[in-house]
């Protein structure tokens, strides 16, 4: 069997002839991005064949000159009989997990969060004094334990798992019958999902998980006080299998790849859990409650469900509302007997991240005022409504604001440029980074600041092209390519400059156009206008700060009085927190999901028109953004 060596890592793997080079790389543990999901269209999985023969279809997708130098696409290349040496170009930085230094609950209006009397997780810890065995009663350990539980909880049916039963005898004897049972209440039944000797009621943890297409974020919650102990996020390990949900669906079409995607997302989740648990002295098996929120495709992939039918008419998912499943079936590294709650999905393109997210808004209250919720992720989702209607729609925004597809883009993690100021005269920048670290890249909030301020100061025009007539030390023009240096090489962590290119600007403009036009179209279809809105909630993984004024400047969000805007941060994660600490909130979420109607925008004939009109900063129609034009005049002054 031919041996494949990958440089510079030196990793090798032996594979059968005709193995796809992309598979060989994966087997060798080499991370190669495949944003298009292996269709050969994105060109991101390019490598160079240093020696050995391969069979490649890369010509036509790569320039002649590149092919002549040995460059191939891993997804379009097969190994033949000979050994091969492959050079892997340095990847765009997929940096490792970083602390999010604080929880984001302060971004949510306090009256929307569960109050102390509403703290009521699905699994509770209960201290029991189990009577010692009396031979004349002829009771087993399980009988005595069930009686003690029924003494406190009434004559409910008590159910057990075998793993739990195995611990009962020793637990009862270790502390003379003083044990703590972890109980799940399920209409008329009590499921004992853990038994520990002694009183462990103060060690009771939950995990909230936001499963994004690009980023996965978790919170560790101490249920004894319903407090967020730690939060952490990282890129979804599925990222190397496609940048968006459609690419992932393409990727999953081979059964082993469906399982690979499942293991990848599970791997990211479990790595994050181990990191937060370890750093806070918590054994993952002390986590007995979990809520997971993800879009419909991510929910399917995490459960190992074939997502194929989500993109084939009539777009029927296997499930929308996931029944409670034991974790042992799913494989998250917590108490394997825990029952996992999944935030309900509404349709193929409105998922659990949205039904979790709207819990952070007035859309979850009884108000008659009309509110808008915009969740900006790899997919953009928009919900509008009040106490009598709830409409949702989705648009394909792309991962730009999470750092995806942007040359120096990164998510909001340590070293990310999160705020940018532009000198109007010189066109140079000042910036600040998360954690005040040396800059490693730019995150969504930094991009919005940068684009807005370069636009207001005239260093880029409404089409997202750099000013070529005035000299600027930060702008580099190379033929038709132009880029802007935010941080020069000597300041950055990697020793390479942190730049934004015109291609990046294009990506950002397309993303914002997609979201704005979807909002506009949806309101239009409902006979509403932006002026009818009382509040606009913006969610997304932008980090701690999102300058909503700058978001208006670039035309991402409508031009409304600033007091109407609320930035929520990762609302899918905060909504997961709410449903995992409170069953009342879980009920509320189910009701909201049932009330929500999905609106298909793609079938609207005016969609392309609206979208194209929004492909400018802030928009082709200046009347839609009057305050931006006033600001621009000031900026130029």
Which residues sit at the interface with a second copy, rule CB under 8 A?
133-135, 138-143, 157, 159-163, 165-166, 168-170, 173, 187, 303-306, 308-309, 313-321, 323, 325, 328-330, 346-347, 598
What's the closest the beta carbon of residue 490 comes to a second copy, in angstroms? 53
Nearest CB to a second copy, comparing residues 24 and 171: 171
Whether the Cβ atoms of residue 194 and residue 335 lie closer than 8 Å to each other: yes
Q: Which is nearer to a second copy, 8 or 188 (CB)?
A: 188
Phi-psi category of 506—alpha, beta or left, where left has phi over 0 and alpha has psi -120 to 50?
Answer: alpha
Of the pair 81, 170, the CB lying nearest a second copy is at: 170
Residue nearer to a second copy on the CB measure, 166 or 630: 166
Rank residues 81 and 143 by Cβ distance to a second copy and give the closer one.
143
Which CA distances in Å does 475 have to 427, 459, 481, 487, 503? 8, 9, 11, 12, 14
Pick 315 or 421: Cβ nearer a second copy: 315
User: Which CB atom, from 173 or from 624, has the smaller least distance to a second copy?
Assistant: 173
What pairs with residue 99 in β-bridges?
232
**Dist CA 151 CA 126 (whole Å):** 12
CB of 611 to a second copy, least distance (A): 24
Nearer to a second copy, 119 or 309 (CB): 309
Minimum Å gap between C-beta 579 and a second copy is: 20
Instruction: Please give the Cα distance from 339 to 336 (Å, whole number).
Output: 8
Of 92 and 165, which has the nearer Cβ to a second copy?
165
**CA angle, 501 then 504 then 507, to 5°:** 155
Q: Minimum distance between the CB of residue 634 and a second copy, rounded to whole angstroms?
A: 48
Q: Of 374, 392, 419, give the one whose Cα is nearest residue 557.
A: 374
Residue 345 beta carbon to a second copy: minimum distance, rounded to whole angstroms: 8
Q: How far, CA to CA in Å, does 9 sit from each of 25, 70, 416, 563?
A: 11, 19, 26, 52
Strands 416-422 and 429-433, bridge-based pairing = antiparallel
Q: Which helix (H) or strand (E) holds 221?
A: strand 215-222
- Shortest separation between residue 231's beta carbon and a second copy, angstroms: 27
Sign of the alpha-carbon dihedral angle for 353, 358, 364, 370:
negative
CB of 191 to a second copy, least distance (A): 10
Minimum Å distance from CB 499 to a second copy?
A: 45
Give CA–CA dist 7/160, Å, rounded. Answer: 53
- Of the pair 7, 166, the CB lying nearest a second copy is at 166
Q: What is the DSSP string of 112-179?
A: GSPPGGG-B-SEEEEEEEPPPP-GGGT--HHHHHHHHHHHHH-SPEEEE-HHHHHHHHHHHHHTTTEE
94 or 163: whose CB is closer to a second copy?
Answer: 163
The CA-atom distances, in angstroms, between 370 and each of 113, 356, 526, 569, 590 are 20, 19, 12, 21, 20
Q: Which is nearer to a second copy, 383 or 406 (CB)?
A: 383
Q: Which is nearer to a second copy, 72 or 297 (CB)?
A: 297
Distance of CA 608 to the CA centre of its chain: 27
Distance of CA 421 to the CA centre of its chain: 28
Q: Shortest CA distance to 573 belongs to which of 200, 269, 159?
A: 269
Q: Which is nearer to a second copy, 91 or 594 (CB)?
A: 594
Show Cβ contacts of residue 461 under 8 Å, excluding neighbours closer than 6 positions: 455, 467, 617
What minimum distance in Å lies between the beta carbon of 317 and a second copy? 5
- Taking each helix axis from N to C terminus, what angle separates 162-174 and 141-153, rounded to the nearest 10 degrees? 90
Minimal distance in Å, beta carbon 353 to a second copy?
A: 17
* CB nearer a second copy, residue 122 or residue 406: 122
Contact criterion met (CB below 8 Å) for 390 and 597? yes
* Smallest distance, a second copy to C-beta of residue 360, A: 24
* Angle value at C-alpha 70, between 65 and 74, nearest 5 degrees: 110
Number of Cβ within a 10 Å radius of residue 57: 13
Which of 39-47's residues contact partners 24+ apart within 8 Å by CB, and which partners?
A: 39/75, 39/247, 39/250, 40/73, 40/75, 40/76, 42/243, 43/73, 45/73, 45/74, 45/75, 46/71, 46/72, 46/73, 46/74, 46/89, 47/21, 47/71, 47/72, 47/74, 47/86, 47/87, 47/88, 47/89
Helices marked H in 383-535: 444-456, 502-525
What contacts 199, CB < 8 A, 6 or more positions away?
127, 178, 180
**Cβ at position 177, least distance to a second copy in Å:** 12
Q: How far is the CB of 39 from a second copy (least distance, A)?
A: 23
Q: How far is the CB of 474 from a second copy (least distance, A)?
A: 50
Beta carbon of residue 330, minimum distance to a second copy (angstroms, whole number): 7
- Other CB atoms within a 10 A radius of the CB of residue 189 amount to 12
Q: Which residues lie closer than 8 Å to 225 by C-beta, 6 or more apart? A: none
């Amino acid at each position: 069997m031919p041996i494949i060596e990958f440089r510079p890592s030196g990793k090798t793997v032996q594979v059968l002839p005709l193995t796809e080079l992309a598979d060989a790389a994966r087997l060798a543990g080499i991370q190669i991005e495949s944003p298009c999901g292996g269709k050969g269209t994105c060109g991101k999985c390019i490598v160079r064949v240093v020696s050995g023969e391969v069979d490649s279809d890369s010509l036509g997708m790569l320039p002649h000159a590149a092919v002549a130098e040995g460059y191939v696409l891993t997804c379009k290349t097969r190994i033949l009989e000979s050994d091969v040496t492959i050079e892997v170009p340095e990847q765009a930085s997929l940096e490792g997990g970083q602390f999010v230094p604080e929880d984001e609950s302060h971004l949510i209006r306090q009256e929307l969060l569960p109050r102390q009397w509403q703290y009521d997780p699905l699994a509770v810890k209960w201290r029991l004094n189990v009577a010692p065995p009396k031979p004349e009663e002829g009771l087993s350990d399980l009988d005595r334990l069930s009686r003690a539980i029924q003494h406190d909880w009434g004559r409910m049916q008590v159910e057990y798992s075998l793993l739990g039963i195995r611990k009962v005898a020793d637990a009862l004897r270790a502390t003379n019958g003083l044990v703590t049972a972890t109980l799940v209440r399920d209409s008329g039944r009590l499921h004992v999902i853990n038994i520990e000797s002694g009183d462990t009621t103060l060690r009771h943890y939950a995990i909230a998980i936001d499963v994004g297409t690009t980023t996965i974020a978790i919170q560790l919650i101490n249920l004894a006080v319903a407090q967020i102990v730690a939060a952490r996020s990282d890129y979804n390990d599925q990222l190397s299998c496609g940048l968006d949900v459609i690419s992932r669906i393409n990727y999953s079409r081979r059964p082993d790849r469906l399982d690979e995607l499942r293991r990848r997302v599970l791997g990211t989740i479990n790595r994050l859990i181990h990191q937060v648990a370890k750093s806070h002295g918590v054994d993952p098996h002390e986590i007995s409650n979990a809520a997971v929120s993800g879009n419909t495709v991510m929910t399917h992939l995490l459960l190992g469900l074939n997502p194929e039918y989500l993109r084939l008419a009539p777009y029927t998912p296997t499930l929308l509302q996931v029944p409670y499943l034991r974790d042992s079936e799913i494989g998250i590294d917590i108490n394997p007997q825990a029952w996992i709650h999944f935030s309900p999905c509404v349709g193929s393109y409105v998922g659990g991240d949205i039904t979790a997210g709207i819990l952070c808004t007035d859309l979850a209250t009884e108000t008659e005022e009309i509110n808008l919720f915009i969740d900006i992720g790899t997919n953009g989702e928009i919900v509008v409504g009040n106490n009598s209607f709830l409409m949702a729609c989705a648009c394909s925004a792309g991962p730009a604001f999470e750092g995806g597809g942007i040359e120096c883009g990164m998510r909001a993690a340590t070293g990310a440029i999160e705020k940018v100021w532009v000198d109007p005269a010189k066109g140079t920048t000042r910036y600040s980074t998360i954690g005040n670290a040396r800059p490693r890249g730019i995150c969504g909030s930094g991009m919005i600041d940068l684009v807005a301020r370069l636009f207001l100061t005239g260093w880029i025009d409404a089409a997202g092209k750099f000013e070529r007539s005035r000299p600027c030390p930060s702008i580099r023009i190379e033929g038709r390519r132009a880029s802007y240096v935010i941080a020069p090489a000597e300041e950055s962590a990697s020793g390479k400059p942190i730049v934004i290119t015109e291609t990046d600007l294009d990506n950002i403009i397309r993303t914002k156009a997609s979201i704005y036009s979807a909002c506009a179209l949806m309101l239009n279809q409902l006979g509403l206008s932006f002026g009818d809105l009382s509040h606009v909630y913006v969610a997304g993984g932008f980090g701690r700060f999102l300058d909503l004024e700058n978001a208006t400047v670039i035309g991402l969000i409508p031009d409304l009085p600033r007091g109407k805007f609320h930035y929520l941060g990762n609302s899918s994660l905060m909504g997961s927190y709410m449903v995992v600490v409170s069953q009342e909130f879980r009920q509320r979420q189910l009701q909201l999901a049932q009330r929500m109607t999905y609106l298909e925008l793609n079938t609207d004939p005016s969609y392309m028109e609206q979208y194209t009109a929004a492909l400018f900063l802030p928009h082709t129609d200046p009347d839609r953004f009057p305050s931006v034009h006033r600001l621009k005049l000031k900026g130029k002054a």
